[in-house]
Amino acid sequence: MAKALLKADLHRLPTNELLQLFTTLQAPEIQEMQGDYRASLLTQPNLLAKAFGWVAVANPIRSWQSKAFRSVDGETGRGYNTFLQGGQLVQHYPMLTLLAPSRFDGRPAYQLVYRHFESLCGDVNMVDEVRRVGPGLYLGIGTWGFSKGQRHIPLPFVLEGPVAPYQGDIGQVRKNFVIGSRELPAFSGA
pLDDT digits (tens, 9 = 90+) for 26-75: 999 999 999 999 999 999 998 888 888 888 887 888 899 999 999 999 89
Task: Tally the C-alpha atoms within 13 A of residue 137's C-alpha that lie toward its C-beta.
Answer: 13
Dihedral Cα 65, 87, 61, 144, nearest 10 deg: 30
Task: Tally the C-alpha atoms within 13 A of residue 186's C-alpha that lie toward its C-beta.
Answer: 14
DSSP 72: S
Mean pLDDT computed over every residue of the chain: 93
- Is pLDDT larger for residue 100 or for residue 60? 100
Per-residue confidence (pLDDT) for residue 188, from 0 to 100? 59
* pLDDT average, residue stretch 73-101: 96
Please list, in sequence order, all residues whose beta carbon lies within 8 angstroms of the beta carbon of residue 22, skipping any fewer than 6 positions away. 102, 104, 105, 129, 131, 139, 141, 154, 156
What is the value of pTM for the model shown?
Answer: 0.94
Q: How confident is the model at residue 133 (pLDDT cuts 50, 70, 90)?
A: very high
Run of H or E residues at 53:
helix 47-57
- Is pLDDT larger for residue 93 or for residue 47? 93
Q: Which residues of 35-45 are buried (b: 16+ CB within 10 A; e: fewer)?
A: bbbbbbbbbbb
C-beta separation of 25 from 159 below 8 A: no
Q: Is the dihedral of CA 179, 180, 185, 190 positive or negative?
A: positive
Run of H or E residues at 122:
helix 120-123
Closest CA to 23 of 100, 107, 97: 107
Q: Tens of pLDDT along 1-28?
A: 435 778 899 999 999 999 999 999 999 9
Which CATH code is given to the segment(s) 7-164? 2.40.128.580
